[in-house]
Amino acid sequence: MNPSCNLFIVGPTGAGKTSIGRRLAEHYGLNFLDLDQEIERQCGVPVSAVFEIEGEAGFRRRESALLDECSHQRGVLVATGAGAVLDPANRRMLVERGFVLWLQATLEQQLERLAHDKQRPLLASGDRAERLSAMAQARTPLYQEIADLVIPGEHEHVHAASARSILLIDQHWKRQQAA
């Protein structure tokens, strides 16, 4: 059962948007697109290089343009970057063009999952816990503003998290149809 022609996953860095998104796309028969991976494919360089060359503002322009392009498609599941919600136009696109899932993750879960990650430019320097906490403070209200459904973060393997997400999505969709 597919709740929308498009599913969009938002949430903090390390929430599992890509890993869970792939499984949800397969389950619901949607094409999977990871916004960061699409930017890398189009630019031919890692996201970190885009940040280095164009800065965060340049990256965000690319991200918004690609989100616009991807969200106009039908039958896609888009795993957004954690900061895609910072732009009000992006939030409007997500709300208007599909069903928005918010994958949550605690600071402890993020630190654990990102302990060996050296690829994320916004976590490249400084105290990671402090950076992640500051990002959460700015972004959490924005995730909350646009989410059709919240998937709480749990300490579980990606397969279990995906199955739990599917169950919650299907339950939500059934309630919506019954209403």
Q: Is 120 annotated as a binding residue?
A: yes
Q: Answer yes or no: is 61 within a domain.
A: yes
- What 3-state class would DSSP assign to 162? helix
Q: Is 165 annotated as a binding residue?
A: no
Q: Answer yes or no: is 2 within a domain.
A: no
- What 3-state class would DSSP assign to 64? helix
Decide: 17 and 80 in contact? Cβ < 8 Å: yes
Q: Is 162 annotated as a binding residue?
A: no
Q: Answer yes or no: is 20 within a domain.
A: yes
Q: Is 44 annotated as a binding residue?
A: no
Q: Which residues of 71-85 are buried (b: 16+ CB within 10 A; e: fewer)?
A: beeeebbbbbbbbbb
Split the chain (179 residues) into runs of 10 and give each run's mean pLDDT: 77 88 95 95 90 90 96 95 95 96 84 64 67 88 95 80 90 85
| Domain count within the chain | 1
| pTM for the predicted model, two decimal places | 0.88
What is the domain range of residue 93?
A: 7-174
| DSSP assignment letter at 153 | -
What pLDDT sits at residue 118?
65
Q: Answer yes or no: is 51 within a domain.
A: yes
Q: Answer yes or no: is 1 within a domain.
A: no
Q: Is 170 annotated as a binding residue?
A: no
61: domain CATH number is: 3.40.50.300
In the structure encoding, which two tokens stand for residue 44, read together?
A: 């031919």
Q: Is 36 annotated as a binding residue?
A: yes
Q: Is 113 annotated as a binding residue?
A: no
Q: Answer yes or no: is 169 within a domain.
A: yes
Q: Is 16 annotated as a binding residue?
A: yes
